[in-house]
Amino acid sequence: MTGQPGEALWSPLAHMPSVLGRRTVVVEGDGAYVVTADGRRLLDATSGLWHANVGHARREIADAAAAQMARLETYQSFGSFSNDRALALADRLVALGPVDDAKVILTSGGSDSVDVAAKLARRHWVEEGRPDKRHILSRRDSYHGLHGYGTSLTGPDIYREGYGPGTLVPETAVFSSTDIDDLRRVIDEIGPERIAAVITEPVIGSGGVIAPPPGYFETMQELARQHELLLIADEVITGFGRLGRWFGSERFGLEPDLLVFAKGVTSGYAALGGVLVAPRIWRRFYDGPDAPLYRHGVTYSGHATACAVAEANLDILEREGLVERAGRLERVLADALEPLRDRPDVAEIRAGVGLMAAVAPAATIPNDAVVAEALERGVILRAIRENFIQISPPFIVTDEEVDRIATVLAESIDAVAARG
């Protein structure tokens, strides 16, 4: 080890020998832009990891955090303790969310929330006297974070390599992301009496920006109803506006029993996530002296500063009409990418559902080389699965900036193709 500054940081999902000495170190943000340690100003066409929906470094949110910390950094929410910010945010989230008469469990992020929802789904059936209903089904291309449960629910097998045979959490199974008949097959194979829940992203994000094919969710809901399976919507990316509605479930008529959120609730200004829980599940836990107790919690459940930050973020989304703006930009982004469609060096474009898109260059052009080239040209893109490139700018991006993203992407594909 040479002892370079920062060498101690073992980055997530990174091949460390390739990363060391080649990091893009971000030191400042400014709306849709970030600035690096070596002074480059980059247009953030991915909103970081799909999080910076209101843009970077907004003073109003920083002020809300500072004011809260100076008053009370946080107080825990275990047992009969709580704090005023967690209570206020919970009421606001329930009023905003698509789950009627919900309760909310607050966590510190998306993976954390997936664990809470999956465990609660199993717990629900135990309380219902049907303890065999334990399997949780997920889609082949989904991403549900990488805590214990998420490692097993996230679709691609690579996330489970190296932990020994089987999956980390047993009683999980995947089905096709696009052919809903495959869900029928998996239900028949396992037996509905052994299945607790199905989890789905409204639009699959990091797995390749996959919108549901026509009829896919209708059949999923029908099967869930018919076989008494709980429905878990993972809205970590789609929650809080990315699809032009507050929640993706609204856009597709999904009626989840559990709705998982994170990222957009604070636009990444603090680590916060949570789960909206439908009455069908929470009622038993609220009812009478013999009510059972759901033993899940983390020190930062309902962290007061994170909750104050979330409220400031929601204020901005509402005041500036950013959810509607994201909805309008959906077309702008899809139109900007349209000229790429006929190029022989572009294999596929997925756009037109929300302010999110993915472009796959031809198989001979590696997505990570295109992303590196775009970075040189001042635009942050992200290589995701199966040679796709993620585009998901902040909601405050202008039409001209969307055009620039598409132009730089096209030029970067050209440049990599020309190098051969």
Cβ-contact 243, 354 below 8 angstroms: yes
Whichever of 144 and 251 has its CB closer to ligand PLP, that residue is 144
Cβ-contact 306, 270 below 8 angstroms: yes
Whichever of 113 and 367 has its CB closer to ligand PLP, that residue is 113
CA distance 412 to 370: 5
Whichever of 265 and 340 has its CB closer to ligand PLP, that residue is 265
Whichever of 107 and 412 has its CB closer to ligand PLP, that residue is 107
At its nearest, how many Å lie between ligand PLP and the CB of residue 116? Answer: 12
At its nearest, how many Å lie between ligand PLP and the CB of residue 45? Answer: 16
* Residue (of 235, 272, 241) closest to 254 by Cα position: 235
At its nearest, how many Å lie between ligand PLP and the CB of residue 237? Answer: 5
Whichever of 98 and 110 has its CB closer to ligand PLP, that residue is 110
**Range 315-354 burial, b when 16+ CB lie within 10 A, else e:** ebbeeeebbebbbebbebbbebbeebeeeebbbebbbebb
Question: By CB under 6 A, is residue 139 in contact with ligand PLP?
Answer: no
Contacts of 122 (CB under 8 A, 6+ apart): 133, 134, 136, 196
* Candidate ranges 73-81, 131-139, 199-207, 403-411; the one touching ligand PLP (CB under 6 A): 199-207
* Residue (of 271, 289, 291, 265) closest to 104 by Cα position: 265
Binding mask 218-247 for ligand PLP (x = CB under 6 A): ----------------x-xx----------
At its nearest, how many Å lie between ligand PLP and the CB of residue 128? Answer: 26
Amino acid at 282: W
Candidates 106, 114, 196, 333: give the one binding ligand PLP (CB under 6 A): 114
DSSP-derived letter for residue 379 is E
Task: Give me the residue label for tokens 């690579």.
Answer: 158
Question: By CB under 6 A, is residue 206 in contact with ligand PLP?
Answer: yes
Whichever of 259 and 346 has its CB closer to ligand PLP, that residue is 259
CA-to-CA separations, 14 to 22, 98, 119, 151, in angstroms, rounded: 12, 36, 29, 16
- Of residues 140-159, those binding ligand PLP (CB under 6 A): 143-145
Question: By CB under 6 A, is residue 111 in contact with ligand PLP?
Answer: yes
CA distance 113 to 260: 6
Cβ-contact 226, 193 below 8 angstroms: no
Binding mask 255-284 for ligand PLP (x = CB under 6 A): -------x----------------------
At its nearest, how many Å lie between ligand PLP and the CB of residue 204? Answer: 8
At its nearest, how many Å lie between ligand PLP and the CB of residue 283? Answer: 26
- Phi and psi, residue 35, nearest 5°: -120, 135
CB atoms within 10 A of CB 246: 21
Whichever of 150 and 327 has its CB closer to ligand PLP, that residue is 150
Binding mask 26-65 for ligand PLP (x = CB under 6 A): -----------------------x----------------
204 SS3 class: strand
Whichever of 202 and 327 has its CB closer to ligand PLP, that residue is 202
Candidates 31, 55, 110, 264: give the one binding ligand PLP (CB under 6 A): 110
Q: Hey, which bits of 220-270 come out as E strands?
A: 230-234, 258-261
User: Footprint of ligand PLP on this chain (CB under 6 A)?
Assistant: 49, 109-111, 114, 143-145, 201, 205-206, 234, 236-237, 262
